[in-house]
Chains A and B, each alone.
Chain A
Amino acid sequence: MLRGCFPRLTLILMGLVLSPNVACYASHGEGVSSSSTAVFSIGKFAITDSIILTWIISMLIIFLVRFALRGGTKIIPSTGQAIIESVIEGLRGIIEPIIGNKAFRIVFPYLLGIFFFILLQNVCGLLPGIGSVGVNINGGFRPFFRPANSDLNTTLALAVVSFFAWGYFGVRCAGVRGICFEIFGNKAEKSEISSVIYGGLCVLFMAVGLVECISILCRIVSLSFRLFGNTFGGENLLHNMYGFSSILKNIPIVNYMAYLIPLPFYFLEFLIAIIQSFVFTLLTSVYIGLVCNHEDHAHG
């Protein structure tokens, strides 16, 4: 049943992505803005194009999941339930050994949320109308929708939430003492070495711990900029390819090829959308697993 469903689903998504209505910022002769633009404001809060799309896609994700599970979950699954189950089972197979059995039950729902959120935000960013529907104000084009992950606010928010989730799950599974030992603790066996060397190692591990603290804080930057960079870079790539095809349209012999030029890059971006959501989820699980799966590693 699933073998037939996945190619069909992929084709539908590809069809949407590659429809002739596809347009991007390039159609308006501008580069992709590095920041989102405010479309309207509620009091002091400016509602940007990326937030509007985030809300729409958030509702779409919930609707899609509810639609897939219409009629309730059953022991013998429906097609929609089977698709969701296969994704969950696939993620479970990869994430469970990383996080460990102890933390898996409490961490997995959060990781599922990250994966589906980023995946659908990335994929829906390639849909027609995203970035191309908007208004011209003061000679400049303002789109109504911007792919959520091409806005640093979204990726930074995800990274910050993941950082706090790491802390929360770490404390819940290993305790504050466990986290402190993991970062600053002397991992050498006291009985195997002399006390002088052991003392020296304590100082060394403390220094390493400080570096580790910096690296932990840098995870926010690395997670957010990796996702933002890939999505924003993809947007720019499509923009440039579309601009290049606009030039080709004016050349008589090759003008029929103009619309084909961005085509391979849409496939590439589709692939990157899946990979990036997976990478973000996997890295978050690795960070959590480093703290929560400490005992399992030690026993292993």
Chain B
Amino acid sequence: MVDVGNLLNKFGVDWHLLLIQSLNFLLVTFLLYKFGFKSVIDVMAERREKIESGLAYADKMQKEISAFENSRTERIASVKKEAEEIVQSAKNNAKVLLEQKKTESRKLADNMISSAKKEIALQHDKMLQGVKSEIGTLVVDISQSVLSTQLTAEERNEYLLSAEKALMLENLR
């Protein structure tokens, strides 16, 4: 049998020293935990929690973004369709309006042309009338000068009528 007491004595084992070393170790462990490791472990746990919640939040945001993206795409598609319809209807309306305006303006232009023609004809007649009377007067005056006689009223009318006839013939020609 091994003499345990002798063996322990050989290595200087003493219960006082055992007790001191045990207490010393427990005290160091307690102080290390209380003033060192506890706060580090807490911070590590807090960081892990924050990372986890951050990742969960990021995941949630990703899902929300994807849902928003889908709804945005759908909305854009519907708005695009609506816009196309509006543009199409506007085009149709514009076409109709254009035709309407064209017709109106054509009508207006026709009216203006016809009234202008009438005015021109009127002016032409007036002018012809004036020219006729002028020419008649000239014919009478020239005839008086050539004949060196004062023409009577009947003769004047006769010359005027013949001048008018001559002008009308010329005009017809």
- Enumerate chain A interface residues (CB-CB to B < 8 A): 34-36, 44-46, 48, 51, 54-55, 58, 61-62, 65-66, 69, 72-75, 77, 81, 84-85, 88-89, 108-110, 112-114, 116-117, 148, 151-154, 156-158, 160-161, 228
**B residues in contact with A84, CB < 8 Å:** 36-37, 40
Would you call B12 an interface residue if the criterion is a C-beta within 8 Å of the partner chain's C-beta atoms? yes
Q: Check B28–A58 contact: CB distance below 8 A.
A: yes
Main secondary structure of the interface of A (DSSP, over half): helix
Choose among B19, B22, B50 the residue with the greatest number of A CB atoms under 10 Å from its CB.
B22
| A285 CA to B37 CA, complexed, in Å | 18
List which B17-76 residues lie within 8 A (CB) of chain A: 17-22, 24-33, 35-44, 46-47, 50
Which of A85, A117, A228 has a CB less than 8 Å from the CB of B40?
A85
Q: Which of A44, A55, A75 contacts B43 (CB 8 A)?
A: A75
Q: Cβ of A55 and Cβ of B40 under 8 Å apart?
A: no
Closest partner residue, chain A, to B26 (CB atom): A161
User: B33 is contacted by which of A69, A75, A112 (Cβ under 8 Å)?
Assistant: A112
| Interface of B (DSSP majority class) | helix
Task: Identify the closest chain A residue to B18 (Cβ).
Answer: A157
Q: Which residues of B contact A (CB under 8 A)?
A: 8, 10-14, 16-22, 24-33, 35-44, 46-47, 50
Of A61, A75, A228, which one neighbours B47 at CB under 8 angstroms? Answer: A75
Chain A residues near B29 (CB, 8 Å)? 109-110, 112-114, 117
B39:A73 contact, CB within 8 angstroms: yes
CB neighbours (8 Å) of A156 from chain B are 13, 18
With A73-B43, A81-B40, A160-B22 already in contact, the answer to whether A116 and B11 are too (CB < 8 A) is: no
Q: How far is the CB of A101 from chain B (nearest CB, A)?
A: 13
Q: A112 to B16, Cβ gap below 8 A?
A: no
